[in-house]
Amino acid sequence: MDWIWRGTYVPATRNELQRIQLQLENERFSFNGQLIEKRSFADSSKKGTNAGRKNIL
């Protein structure tokens, strides 16, 4: 029996991407559990943002 993909792929539109970016800019994240200081998503390091994205998504 062959496996066939029956799902659909719907990429995000430019407007949806802009909404996501604005939401991430407005939220504050604590990338290190020991630190109380919360930084904006854009202010964090590249490694921290990748870990944050995986957590969020």
Q: Can you give the pLDDT of all 57 residues of the chain as single tens digits?
A: 898 988 998 999 999 999 988 887 777 666 566 555 566 666 666 555 566 666 666
Do the domain assignments include residue 45?
yes
Residue 38's domain spans which residues? 14-56
> Would residue 4 count as lying in a domain?
no
| Cα separations in angstroms, 34 against 26, 38, 51, 52 | 22, 11, 16, 15
Give the chain's domain count. 1
Instruction: Let me know if residue 2 belongs to a domain.
Output: no
Amino acid 56: pLDDT: 64
pLDDT confidence of residue 1 = 80
Contact of 31 with 48, CB cutoff 8 Å: yes
Indicate whether 7 belongs to any domain.
no
pTM: 0.43
Flag whether 5 is in a domain. Answer: no
Considering the domain boundaries, does residue 39 fall inside one? yes
Judge whether 24 lies within some domain. yes
